[in-house]
């Protein structure tokens, strides 16, 4: 399996996990929300919105274009903080799915 295929598989798994955990927002943020200069667009989006409409979308665009991937990816700690006080049963599964994407991108 190539690095791009590994990232693609991890992204598909992440989408499934986020949907099961009800962390897959349906409403796209306003165009101005994408102009944030803050990490993870924390000032304009929730982390699930950022994951779906920025992180996953941009990685998918890179994969579709057969472009180089970022050299490092470390999003799982942000989700750990985001879900810190959440009683959500799927929390470990969500964090593990994001960690798989992090590792796949970093190892690519």
42-65 residue pLDDT tens: 999 999 999 999 999 999 999 999
Encode pLDDT of 64-99 as tens digits.
999 999 999 999 999 999 999 999 999 999 999 999
Burial of 39 (0-12, 13-18, 19+ CB in 10 A): exposed
Tokens 């991890």, located at residue: 10
Whether the model pTM is above 0.95: no
Cα(12)–Cα(32) distance, rounded to whole angstroms? Answer: 27
94: tokens are 């969500």
Domain segments of the chain as ranges:
3-25+41-107
pLDDT surpassing 90 at residue 22: yes
Q: What single-letter DSSP state applies at residue 86?
A: -
CATH code: domain 3-25+41-107 is: 1.20.1440.40
């Amino acid at each position: 399996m190539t690095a791009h295929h590994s990232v693609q598989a991890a992204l598909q798994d992440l989408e499934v996990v986020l949907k099961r955990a009800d962390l897959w927002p349906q409403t796209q943020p306003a165009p101005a929300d994408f102009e944030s200069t803050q990490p993870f667009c924390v000032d304009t989006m929730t982390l699930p919105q950022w994951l779906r409409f920025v992180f996953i979308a941009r990685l998918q665009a890179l994969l579709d274009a057969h472009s180089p991937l970022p050299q490092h990816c470390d999003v799982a700690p942000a989700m750990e903080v985001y879900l810190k006080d959440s009683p959500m049963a799927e929390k470990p599964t969500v964090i593990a799915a994001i960690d798989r994407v992090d590792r796949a991108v970093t190892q690519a």
